[in-house]
Structure 1
Amino acid sequence: MKPSTAAWRTASRSTENGGNCVQLASVGDLISIRDSKDPGGPVVAMKRDDFQRFAEVLKSI
């Protein structure tokens, strides 16, 4: 599945007032991340285990 056809969802901590919005999608065995304000822009993709570690680090900051 290509990121452009993925079912994107907005992170629960994102605001609806045009703030810092991140969207996530499950694409095969990867988690893809993009900026909701630029859906056609760059996408970061990482393996699920790597994403879990990435999220844990962000939560600890």
Structure 2
Amino acid sequence: MSPTEPSWFKSSYSGSQGDDCVEIATTPTTIRIRDSKNITGPHLTVPADAWAAFLAVVDRAP
């Protein structure tokens, strides 16, 4: 892995069956999100503070 290549890991919010896996890679300012079944495909990049706000809403969901 090159120094500029992100370090991806399976999100703890992914499904436990292994069929709906989301991987994320973090930097101090951004979060990258991708489908683990298509690692060479497109990914979504969001500001770290927006990701934190999203997770706060998910944690409050019933």
- Category of TM-score, reference length = shorter chain: 0.7 to 0.9
The residue correspondences of 1:3-42 to structure 2 (distance < 5 A) are 5-14=5-14, 15=16, 17-42=17-42
- State the Cα distance separating 1:59 from its structure 2 match: 2.8
- State the Cα distance separating 1:28 from its structure 2 match: 4.9
RCO higher in structure (CA 8 A, sep ≥6):
1
In the alignment, structure 2 segments of 5+ residues that lack a partner are none
Greater fraction helix: 1
Q: Find the residue that maps to 1:12 and give its secondary structure.
A: coil
CA distances 1:5-43 after superposition (whole Å, capped 9, x unpaired):
11001012433x441100010135101111101001111
RMSD: 1.7
Aligned residues: 57
In the alignment, structure 1 segments of 5+ residues that lack a partner are none
Matched-pair identity in % = 32
TM-score if structure 2 supplies the norm length? Answer: 0.73
The runs of 4+ residues in structure 1 deviating greater than 3 Å are none
TM-score if structure 1 supplies the norm length? Answer: 0.74
